Amino acid sequence: MQSEMNFYKFDRAEWSQFHSQNFTSVTDAELAQLRSLNDEISLDDVKTIYSPLRHLIHIRYEDYQGDMFTLSRFLGMQRNPHTPFIIGIAGSVAVGKSTTARLLQLLLSRAYPDKRVQQITTDGFLYPNAELERRGILDRKGFPESYDMQLLIHFMNNVKNASGVVRAPKYSHQIYDIVPDEYEVIDRPDILIVEGINVLQLPSKQPIYVSDYFDFSIYVDADPTLIEQWYLERFGILLDTAFTDPSNYYYQYAIGDRKDAFDMARKVWRDVNLKNLKEYILPTKNRADIILHKTTGHKIDQVALRKW
């Protein structure tokens, strides 16, 4: 174990020692269903990395429930209020946040069969492409100003206050836009996992931030050169699956010259995603409770645990 600034750092072998005795088993078939397009994750990752992480979340969740009980006693409430435990997962585009979110949802659902564990991405809170065009920021999609932060904060507030069924706009990567008249439904969860590149950011002139609603947070980290490789690999897979569907956003690139398509993707990575990562996403890394650092092949080689 290394100690640096406000983080304890563990290599893979050291971190694996923190798993609980109640290991949650996962099958290869389940992993295949929840992993993102070109992400890689193994049963060994589940046991070595995610089982200790689930155990830590279990401890934090028990502490949280205790805090809620103490607060309700102080306020003289007859019943403990139903206030969900919210986990935030941040990191770059194409780093594997979605896989981490879905795997944690599975593990926590198994650990708490009597609890409702739900997961959502903040992609749905991007402004529709038409609105981004109207504002002249379509080429800055993913940057802080491209999100309807007021709507996202309103959503988080309603969830945290257990305001019944809460709906969020639905985003489709196939059409690269918000899906009209379709919504993600969050129904009084006990645990909610919120995944997105922007969840740990501190937008200017905001009285409250998305991260203020989090009770635990994770940052998925990797060298930008590796993330670019994963981003381009994912782009290639999207092209391979889009050429038969004219309604797919990637169809126009799938039926065209492949070199031109990849030149465009590299430009988008350099001018949009890498710029966003360096200026707005990476600076939030040290605000997370846990940093999962990935190396070649999406293998997590180091875990950093926040001290305070």
Residue pLDDT tens, the chain, 308 long: 765 679 999 999 999 999 766 666 789 899 888 887 778 899 999 999 999 999 999 999 999 999 999 998 898 987 777 899 999 999 999 999 999 999 999 999 999 999 999 999 999 999 999 999 999 999 999 999 999 999 999 999 999 998 889 999 999 999 999 999 999 999 999 999 999 998 998 876 678 889 999 999 999 999 999 999 999 999 999 999 888 899 999 999 999 999 999 999 999 999 999 999 999 999 999 999 999 999 999 999 999 999 99
What is the rounded CA–CA span in Å between residue 151 and residue 35? Answer: 29
| 196 annotated ligand-binding residue | no
| 72 annotated ligand-binding residue | no
| 96 annotated ligand-binding residue | yes
| 93 annotated ligand-binding residue | yes
pTM greater than 0.85: yes
| 92 annotated ligand-binding residue | yes
- Return the percentage of the chain with pLDDT > 70, whole number: 96
Task: State how many domains the chain has.
Answer: 1
CATH number of the CATH domain containing 68: 3.40.50.300
Residue 136 one-letter amino acid:
G
User: Residue 193: which domain range?
Assistant: 2-306
* Interval 41-80: pLDDT, tens: 999 999 999 999 999 999 999 999 999 999 988 989 877 7
| 97 annotated ligand-binding residue | yes
| 101 annotated ligand-binding residue | no
What's residue 82's pLDDT? 85
| 185 annotated ligand-binding residue | no
* Interval 78-98: pLDDT, tens: 777 789 999 999 999 999 999
What's residue 81's pLDDT? 75
